[in-house]
Structure 1
Amino acid sequence: MKKQYALYILLLAVAGSFLACSEDDLNPTSVITTGEKVKNDFDRWLEANYVNPYNITFKYRYEEIESDLNYYTVPADYAQAVELAHIVKYVCVEAYDEVAGFDFTRAYFPKEFFLIGEWEYRNNGTFILGTAEGGKKVLLSGVNYLDQYKNSIASLNHYYLKTIHHEFTHIMNQTKEMPTAYQFITGSDYVADLWSESPYNAGYLSRGFISAYAQMEYTEDFAEMLSMYVCYPASQWQAWMNEAGSAGASLIDAKLTLVKQYMADSWNIDVDKLRDSIQRRSADLEAGKIDLNDLTLK
């Protein structure tokens, strides 16, 4: 049975509307699959930048079979899908190339991304940012909100980039098991789906968890530790440790030590070097140094 992991976030506001399509919308750049598709510039760019080098399929056209029918979903906006493809490639894929090597990325990075426009809302006040399935496929939701967040690296991390690193961590853990000792550091304090409810949605740092969602269970905790560490700068991490206090910071540091040890021993990856690469690339992105709309083939 395939095991599926999901990353949730507290629902702050329900927004967005369904997209209407007319016959004029169903052109080569349509985000809805209606049979045999005609390749456009974006398809050719994806082939040159994802398929050929990495054997990664980046699906931006809506396919019902790829969707979770338990949720109301809408297609990803074409223009924002183009932007997200550039962001994922520069900040995530190429960061692993730089630190772990191209062969690692090609072998282990998820082989399929599937984009949908809206978040997947749950009835407990949370919504799904992304999922990893079978060690191969990553769903990224909320693509149609990208333009609201693309100029802020903190927002991009919160809604998109951390999700990718989180889900890739699950994929790595499915391939090579995480340290058994990790689950016992705060073993009696995981609260499953109660993580988003009071009192667990506050004070989690002092209890040894880097995020509220990390309290769900230890595999999610591990993925949160790695993704939060590499996505956010050292100044933010130190601020969290200050807020955690000595007891909480000690627990988080024990977890981080095992995360770094796992990445070094299992994957020959220096987590601090990975963080440096991601931080530098994130700064480039926020400074506008990356053309997110360039579809020229090089």
Structure 2
Amino acid sequence: MKKNILFILPVVIMALGLVSCSNDEIKSESVISVDNYIPNEFDLWLEENYRNPYNIDFKYRYEEIESDLNYYTVPATYEASVKMAHLVKYLCVETYNEVAGIEFTRSQFPKMFFLIGEWEYRNNGSYILGTAEGGRKILLSGLTYLNPILAGEKESGDFAFEFGNDVAENLNHYYIKTIHHEFTHILNQTKDYPTAFRQVTPSSYVSDSQFSEPYLSAYLKRGFISAYAQTNTAEDFAEMVSVYVTHSPEWWEAQMKAAEAKWEEDADQTQTGRVLIEQKLDITRDYMHTVWNIDLDELRDCILRRQLDITSGKIDLTDLTLSSKKASN
């Protein structure tokens, strides 16, 4: 089964002491899947908001069979799982409803999310934020850090967040961009992206060296929107979509200005990084519009508007009220 992986820079691994428990009434503790459990209010909310409208199974109870046994993994907490379910629904699922229509979301969005508490740490010091498997499942890791990020903390234990206490950037970097990245892989597995994209920087991909110098600091000049995009063409394409739609036009233009130079170490690079990235963006825009009828700029506007709703506190990420109860109030 094909698995697409998104991982990022080396970090210092914090020591965790998590207590596993199958009783969901202890909301702050991790949740292990057990047979014949009695559905709680979160299960009923997931039924109404994921399973019934989209046939999506949102798995927050830890199941060994769904985890990757090549890594040490831990369960996600109940509290963080509730908040992540709201974030995925509001910033991902419903954005595609708004831009492409609910039938697109029903037919194309992955049918399973599986949450775990820690990131999957690789032996080279990097760690995996998420994976997409076979067009049906997205793994979201690092739920342990969601509450500190939402609280605007700069670090959790020994783990310092990439963007300090910037809630929006950290949410994007560790979770939301990951979902849009992995969903792009799923769309590409259904209908491949154009060959023309592969030809923009055909000999510039560096595989597992993307986080080593000189590539780590030169990716914009080399024609890539992120260091990870230098891995291969599939990751490059997914990064083009996910980075573009989760950042403001002002942020994007700042990156383009930083890319207004050639990478001097490559004598064969005849264009500036900006020209190369904008060529890729044009191809990406055309693919999303002609194949999926999605306007990337409209999708970006939708995500940024909804992101502001989250960071301003407009959306209650803990509300598990069912629509039947809301209607009766």
Match of 2:129 in 1: 129
Give the alignment of 1:255-274 within 5 angstroms: 255-274=280-299
Return the alpha-carbon distance in structure 1 between the equivalents of residues 121 and 186 of structure 2: 24
Relative to its length, the structure with more helix (as a share) is: 1
Q: Structure 1 residue 197: deviation in Å?
A: 1.3
Give the alignment of 1:58-207 within 5 angstroms: 58-150=58-150, 151=152, 152-207=167-222
Give secondary structure in 2 for the equivalent of 1:6: strand
Return the alpha-carbon distance in structure 1 between the equivalents of residues 88 and 19 of structure 2: 28
Which amino acid is the alignment partner of residue 203 of structure 2? S
Q: Structure 1 residue 27: deviation in Å?
A: 1.3
Q: Kindly, what percent of the aligned residue pairs are identical?
A: 58
Return the alpha-carbon distance in structure 2 between the equivalents of residues 285 and 95 of structure 1: 13
Q: Structure 1 residue 162: deviation in Å?
A: 0.3
Give secondary structure in 2 for the equivalent of 1:240: helix
Return the alpha-carbon distance in structure 2 between the equivalents of residues 193 and 11 of structure 1: 13
Is it true that 1:27 corresponds to 2:23 in the alignment?
yes
What's the TM-score once normalised by structure 1's chain length? Answer: 0.97
Match of 1:251 in 2: 276
Whether the aligned pair in 2 keeps the contact of 1:110 and 1:136 (CA below 8 Å) is yes
Whether the aligned pair in 2 keeps the contact of 1:28 and 1:39 (CA below 8 Å) is no
Which amino acid is the alignment partner of residue 291 of structure 1? D
Which amino acid is the alignment partner of residue 260 of structure 1? R
Provide Cα deviations, 1:152-210, integer angstroms capped at 9, x if missing partner: 11100000000000000000000011001101101100001111112111110010000
Is it true that 1:242 corresponds to 2:241 in the alignment?
no
Whether the aligned pair in 2 keeps the contact of 1:28 and 1:37 (CA below 8 Å) is no
Whether the aligned pair in 1 keeps the contact of 2:221 and 2:274 (CA below 8 Å) is yes
Give secondary structure in 2 for the equivalent of 1:160: helix
Which amino acid is the alignment partner of residue 26 of structure 1? S
Q: Structure 1 residue 16: deviation in Å?
A: 4.0
Q: Structure 1 residue 34: deviation in Å?
A: 2.2
Whether the aligned pair in 2 keeps the contact of 1:120 and 1:128 (CA below 8 Å) is yes
Match of 1:5 in 2: 4
Q: Which has the higher contact order (CA 8 A, sep 6+)?
A: 1
Whether the aligned pair in 1 keeps the contact of 2:24 and 2:78 (CA below 8 Å) is no
Q: Structure 1 residue 28: deviation in Å?
A: 3.7
Q: Structure 1 residue 116: deviation in Å?
A: 0.2
Return the alpha-carbon distance in structure 1 between the equivalents of residues 17 and 107 of structure 2: 37
Whether the aligned pair in 2 keeps the contact of 1:18 and 1:74 (CA below 8 Å) is no
Return the alpha-carbon distance in structure 2 between the equivalents of residues 26 and 3 of structure 1: 32
Give secondary structure in 1 for the equivalent of 2:215: coil
Structure 1 stretches of 4+ moved >2 Å:
none
Return the alpha-carbon distance in structure 2 between the equivalents of residues 158 and 188 of structure 1: 27
What's the TM-score once normalised by structure 2's chain length? Answer: 0.88
Q: Structure 1 residue 81: deviation in Å?
A: 0.5
Q: Structure 1 residue 11: deviation in Å?
A: 2.2
Which of 1 and 2 has greater Rg?
2
State the number of aligned residues.
294
